Amino acid sequence: MALQMKKRKLNLKERTIDLLKSLCFLSPSLLGVGVFFIVPFGVVVYYSLIDGVGSKNFVFLENFIKLFDNSAFLMAAKNTLSFSAVAVPLAVVLAMGLALMLECRIPLKSQFRTFFLSPMMVPVASVVLIWQVLFNFNGTINEFLMVFGADKIDWLQSDYCQIVVIILFLWKNLGYNMILFMAGLANIPKELLEVADVEGASETYKFFNIKLRYLSPTVLFVTILSLINSFKVFREVYLLTGDYPYEKLYMLQHFMNNTFRSLDYQKLSAAAVVMALVMVVLIALLFVAEDWFGKDVEG
């Protein structure tokens, strides 16, 4: 913002020099991004459109059609989407709740913040061990349930498995999201809330009409971030249950990993392109939604 204040109109020569200078500084990063991301992604798009790395016949959408006929891919996509559809909204709402609670001048606020962030440090493998102790058929949670006379549940080998992974996901990500919301809350103009107090606005009114509107960029970002992190939950699932978990836990990354083993470039490329497209569409949709909801408070 501050940097281009009051810039006079530059002539063409100055503009070219500026462009060259800026590209100089950008070049190391741009070069790396080009070599490691852009060029190979172009090749991935190309691979997704040909019938084989050897024969190189152009087949247009055939690989995609095959991909959508592939039951493993469909299952993985369905599981990943249904997991994200539950986990992401929960991660956003609960993190906002935590942030709002910590806002209310309660004692030990900064200690709580530290505790909520602590899951970031724990190595995945030890998280997985603990989760096994908790959710094993003979594990702590089941022992606890039995005290109340409930039946034991085979958490990881039944339809409950997604719950286990959602809890894990929330445990891991809520702290980070909470910090984002706390930063968002700190940016709300204090006068506005004071005026609302003087006018006798209720807490609900203040929340929906003031706080939520100012938080909408944060909500957008936390949603996108949680979405990406929900794709990363594979890490924990993989370490909990291996290459071929219970059906409901077979995620897209499992599909990718297993396809990597057979090095089926066409299948892999088509899957990567589909995912990239889905991500771009989702992100664009979220941007549109945020623009629509928060338009009168920005700027």
Partner 1 sequence: MKKKRYFGRGAMFLLCAVFAILFLLPTVLTITNSFMSESEINANYGMIFSTTTGGYVSKTVNLKFIPDKVTFSQYVTGLIKSPEYLLKLWNSILLVVPIVIFQVAVAAVAAYSFTRWRGKIRSGIFFFYVILMLMPYQVTLVPNYLVSDWLGILNKPWAIILPGIFAPFSVFLLTKFMRRIPYSLIEAAKVDGAGEWQIFTRICLPQCRSALYSIAILVFIDYWNMVEQPLILLQDADSQPLSVFLSNINSGEIGLAFAMATVYMIPSLLLFLHGEEYLVEGIANSGSVKG
Per CB under 8 A, which of residues 264..283 are in contact with partner 1? 268-269, 271-272, 275-276, 279-280, 283
Kindly state the helix (H) or strand (E) to which residue 138 belongs, with its residue range: none
- Residue of the chain from 61, 81, 122, 145 that contacts partner 1 (CB under 8 A): 122
Closest contact distance (angstroms) between CB of 283 and partner 1 is 6
Residues 196-215 that bind partner 1 (CB under 8 A): none
Q: Does residue 138 belong to the site contacting partner 1 (CB under 8 A)? A: yes
Q: Taking a C-beta distance cutoff of 8 angstroms, is the pair 76, 252 a contact? A: yes
Instruction: Find the binder of partner 1 among 90, 124, 163, 196 (CB under 8 A).
Output: 124
Q: Which is nearer to partner 1, 28 or 191 (CB)?
A: 28
> What is the C-alpha separation between 206 and 63, in angstroms, rounded?
52
Number of Cβ atoms within 10 Å of the Cβ of 94? 15
Helix, strand or coil for residue 58? strand
Interatomic CA distance for residues 66 and 55, integer angstroms: 18
Q: Which residue has the tokens 């899951």?
A: 119
CA distances from 108 to 37, 99, 146, 148, 178 (A): 45, 14, 35, 34, 16
Residue 125 touches partner 1, criterion: CB under 8 A: yes
> Between residues 209 and 257, which has the closer beta carbon with respect to partner 1?
257
Residues 88-107 as x/- pattern, contact with partner 1 by CB under 8 A: ----------x--xx-xxxx
For the bound state, the minimum distance from the C-beta of residue 34 to partner 1, rounded and expressed in Å, comes to 9
Under the criterion CB under 8 A, does residue 55 sit at the interface with partner 1? no
Candidates 72, 81, 130, 145; binder of partner 1 (CB under 8 A) is 130
**Residues between 208 and 247 that touch partner 1 (CB under 8 A):** 217-218, 220-221, 224, 228, 231-232, 234-235, 238-239
Decide if residue 75 touches partner 1 (CB under 8 A).
no
DSSP notation for 272-297:
HHHHHHHHHHHHHHHHHHHHHHHTTT
Instruction: Kindly state the number of chain residues that form the binding site for partner 1, as judged by CB under 8 A.
Output: 99
For residue 152, which of 129, 135, 130, 133 has the smallest C-alpha distance?
135
